[in-house]
Amino acid sequence: APTVATSSVFTILAIAAEERRMVRTLDIGGAFLHAPIPDDLEIFVKLDRVNTEMLCQIRPDYQQYVSSDGTISLKLLKALYGLVQSARLWYDRLVGVLKNGGFVMNPYDVCVWNHGEGKEQCTVVIHVDDMLATCCFESKLDMFEKLMKDEFGEVSVKHGPAF
């Protein structure tokens, strides 16, 4: 998955300081778990005997799928932490939400997104499941925060002072 360039972060912060923008940081709780695995990508996880037994206690109907060595293989429907593909799947999911929310990708950095223009522009910088948002208007930052909370639920937000 792409990661924001350090130069982009410094540039956004310099613009925020020059324009006296307000700053918020957001962290999406359990971000990778919000990323569905597309139908054309099949990822399986094999549970050991102990976890297979616990699963079958919770879901007795899974007993029919337990192999002779006492393990079970399950097809994943959503990304998990530790999967190589998880970061990219999460990025793709977040990009879809940003696009639907009217944000436009910066042509120089795929981890910088903007909504609006001029003084009303809200800029969002993505670093995995953490985001930095800047804007001159608190209402635009509130809009972005609401978009993230409506879509992902658990979102930690820290309000920074205006520059």
The answer, yes or no, to whether residue 72 has pLDDT greater than 70, is yes
Contact yes or no for 112/106 (Cβ under 8 A)? yes
CA–CA distances in Å: residue 103 to residues 29, 43, 56, 123: 21, 31, 44, 9
pTM of the shown model? 0.85
pLDDT at residue 162, as a whole number: 62
Q: For the chain, what's the residue count?
A: 163
Residue in the block written with tokens 């940003």: 98
Give pLDDT tens digits for 19-37.
999 999 999 999 999 999 9
Beta partners for residue 161, in sequence order:
none
Give pLDDT tens digits for 74-127.
999 999 888 889 999 999 999 999 999 999 999 999 999 999 998 899 999 999
- Computed over every residue of the chain, the mean pLDDT equals 94
The answer, yes or no, to whether residue 163 has pLDDT greater than 80, is no
One-letter amino acid of 136: C
* Mean pLDDT calculated for residue range 50-60: 97
Task: For residue 160, name the pLDDT band (cuts at 50, 70, 90).
Answer: confident
Cα 88 from chain centroid (whole Å)? 10
CA atoms within 13 A on the CB side of 1: 22
- Structure token digits, residue 20: 């006296």
